[in-house]
Amino acid sequence: MSLTAEEIDRHRRHILLKEIGGPGVQKLRAASVSIIGAGALGGPCALYLAAAGVGRIEIWDDDTVERSNLQRQIQFGAADAGAGKAERLAERLCAIDPDLTILSVARRFAPGETPAGDILIDASDNFETRFALNRFAHAHRRLLVSGAASGWTGQVSVFASGVQGDAPCYQCWVPESPPAAEACDEVGVAGPVTGITGSAMALETLKLITGAGTPLIGRIQLIDGLSGTSRMVRLMRDTSCPVCHV
Ligand SMILES: [Zn+2]
């Protein structure tokens, strides 16, 4: 289905990129993603994906906006305090492009849940959700874009164990919850680092949908805000991984 004059106008800066172009914008319009977490990572990620015209976006979060979120969750304002995060973020996305299909799910992702997106985006803040989503992505052969941020550092990767034979899964990278696993509530985090990380997650998703460039499959991008550097770590499939070993 060809693009309308309005779509061509709206997405001109993506159409001008040879790696995306008109066909890429059409792929974005046909794409379906589920974003697990509407906070500091899910916010910027969702805003960029809606702006790029991703046709169906599902937002999962059971939390409500608190004043202490506003230091980094820039999709919300003071007036949003007490409101459901998934619902309020979905409203923001609809305002960007009313032609998109945006759904909010006011629940925490847990085993037994079935997010509909062809691409799953892990923007959660706890290992229980991360492990459950990784298992779901592997079992249901979905791509998993994963991001995390803490202190001054962020990390981004794409896990494709259910889709590509030799690709590692999240649990090959993090076999079990670290002993000192703490949520953002207990440790500090530099607001812009969450924005960089969430934006990088949107970028990886856009690349997966359009086929542009090389996605971070089997690689972890580590962002260090204090030194202003970023480095890449290679990740192999763990042959003893409880999720993806065969
Ligand atoms: Zn694995």
Look at residue 185 in the predicted model and tell me its pLDDT: 58
> What tokens appear for 223 in the block?
């962002």
Look at residue 178 in the predicted model and tell me its pLDDT: 81
Q: In this predicted model, what pLDDT tens digit does every residue of 105-159 receive, in sequence order?
A: 999 999 999 999 999 999 999 999 999 999 999 999 999 999 999 999 999 999 9
Task: Kindly write down the DSSP assignment for every residue of the chain, as one continuous string.
Answer: -PPPHHHHHHTHHHHTSTTTHHHHHHHHHH-EEEEE--STTHHHHHHHHHHTT-SEEEEE---B--GGGTTT-TT--GGGTTSBHHHHHHHHHHHH-TTSEEEEE-S---TT-----SEEEE--SSHHHHHHHHHHHHHTT-EEEEEEEEBTEEEEEEE-TTTSTT---HHHH--S--TT---TTTS-B-HHHHHHHHHHHHHHHHHHHHT-S---BTEEEEEETTTTEEEEEE-PPPTT-TTT--
* Residues at Cβ < 5 Å from ligand 1 ion: 169, 171-172, 241, 243-244
Scanning the structure block, which residue is given the tokens 């550097």?
A: 229
- The mean per-residue pLDDT over the stretch 188-196 comes to 97
**Residue 70 scores a pLDDT above 90:** yes
What are the φ and ψ backbone dihedral angles of 170, each rounded to 5 degrees?
A: -60, -35
- Give pTM, 2 decimals: 0.96
* CATH number for region 31-234: 3.40.50.720
Look at residue 183 in the predicted model and tell me its pLDDT: 53
Tell me, in angstroms, the distance from the centre of ligand 1 to residue 7's CA: 40
* Strand pairing class (32-36; 56-60): parallel
- The mean per-residue pLDDT over the stretch 164-184 comes to 84
Tell me, in angstroms, the distance from the centre of ligand 1 to residue 199's CA: 25
- Please tell me the distance from the alpha carbon of residue 163 to that of residue 217, in angstroms, as a whole number: 11
Of 16, 19, 20, nearest in space to 29 by CA? 20
Look at residue 203 in the predicted model and tell me its pLDDT: 98
Residues 6+ apart with CB under 8 A from 24: 14, 15, 17, 209, 210, 211, 212
- The mean per-residue pLDDT over the stretch 66-92 comes to 98
Tell me, in angstroms, the distance from the centre of ligand 1 to residue 134's CA: 9
**Residue 38 scores a pLDDT above 90:** yes
The residue extents of the domains of the chain are 31-234
Tell me, in angstroms, the distance from the centre of ligand 1 to residue 169's CA: 4
**Residue 162 scores a pLDDT above 70:** yes
* Strand pairing class (56-60; 143-150): unpaired
Tell me, in angstroms, the distance from the centre of ligand 1 to residue 160's CA: 10
Tell me, in angstroms, the distance from the centre of ligand 1 to residue 179's CA: 20
Tell me, in angstroms, the distance from the centre of ligand 1 to residue 187's CA: 28
> What tokens appear for 172 in the block?
């090959």
21 burial via Cβ count (<10 Å: 0-12, 13-18, 19+): middle
